[in-house]
Amino acid sequence: MNKKLLFAGSARMMMRYKMRTFFMAIGIIIGVTSLVFMRAMGVGAEQAMMDTVNKTFSISTINLVAGGGHMGPRSDGPVTSLKVADFVALENQVDGVVLQGAMQWFPGQDIRYQGNTRQMAVYGYTANTEAVWQRGVMEGEYFTDDEVQSASRVAVIGRRAADALFGEEAPIGKQIQVGSVPLTIKGILELQGIDTHGADKDDEIHVPVTTLMRRLMNVDHVFAGRIVLDDPSRVEAAAEQINTIMRERHSLADSEPPDFVVLTPALVQDIVSNANRVLLQYLPAAAGVALLVAAIVIANIMLIAVKERVPEIGVRKAVGAEDGQINFQFLTETVVVSLTSGLFGAGIGIVAAVGYGSVSGVPMVVTIGSLSLGLAAAVIVGVVAGFLPAKQASGLNPVNALR
- pLDDT tens for residues 352-393? 988 988 887 778 888 888 788 888 888 887 777 776 666 665
Q: Does residue 230 have a pLDDT over 50?
A: yes
Q: Does residue 70 have a pLDDT over 60?
A: no
Determine what percent of the chain falls in helix, strand and coil, rounding each to the nearest 5: 55, 20, 25
Task: Say if residue 194 is in the same domain as residue 339.
Answer: no
pLDDT for 312 = 63
Distance CA 309, CA 286 (A): 35
Of the three residues 208, 230, 252, the one that is the final residue of a domain is 230
Task: Say if residue 137 is in the same domain as residue 203.
Answer: yes
Mean predicted confidence (pLDDT) in 246-270: 87
> Exposed, middle or buried, 164 (CB in 10 Å: 0-12/13-18/19+)?
middle
Domain count, the chain: 2
pLDDT tens string 179-215: 899 999 999 999 987 776 667 889 999 999 999 999 9
C-beta separation of 179 from 224 below 8 A: no
Task: Say if residue 8 is in the same domain as residue 95.
Answer: no
Mean predicted confidence (pLDDT) in 130-142: 92
C-beta separation of 36 from 371 below 8 A: yes
Task: Say if residue 22 is in the same domain as residue 73.
Answer: no
Task: Say if residue 135 is in the same domain as residue 71.
Answer: yes
Q: How confident is the model at residue 75 (pLDDT cuts 50, 70, 90)?
A: very low
Q: Does residue 56 have a pLDDT over 90?
A: no
Q: Does residue 241 have a pLDDT over 60?
A: yes
pTM: 0.63
Mean predicted confidence (pLDDT) in 257-273: 80
Task: Say if residue 191 is in the same domain as residue 278.
Answer: no
Task: Say if residue 151 is in the same domain as residue 212.
Answer: yes
Task: Say if residue 39 is in the same domain as residue 74.
Answer: no
pLDDT for 73 = 45
261 lies in a domain?
no
260 lies in a domain?
no
Q: How confident is the model at residue 401 (pLDDT cuts 50, 70, 90)?
A: very low
Sign of the alpha-carbon torsion through 24, 27, 30, 31:
negative
Termini Cα distance of the chain: 26
Task: Say if residue 179 is in the same domain as residue 295.
Answer: no
Report CA-CA distances (Å) from 234 to 62, 150, 240, 255.
Answer: 10, 34, 10, 27
266 lies in a domain?
no
List, in sequence order, the alpha helices (H) in 168-282.
209-211, 235-249, 265-277
pLDDT for 119 = 93
41 lies in a domain?
yes
Q: Radius of gyration of the chain from Cα atoms?
A: 32
Beta-strand relationship, 204-208 and 116-125: parallel
C-beta separation of 374 from 342 below 8 A: yes
Task: Say if residue 135 is in the same domain as residue 42.
Answer: no
Q: Which of 174, 157, 165 is nearest to 123 (CA)?
A: 157
Task: Say if residue 296 is in the same domain as residue 397.
Answer: yes
Domain range enclosing 45 = 3-51+271-401
Task: Say if residue 318 is in the same domain as residue 391.
Answer: yes
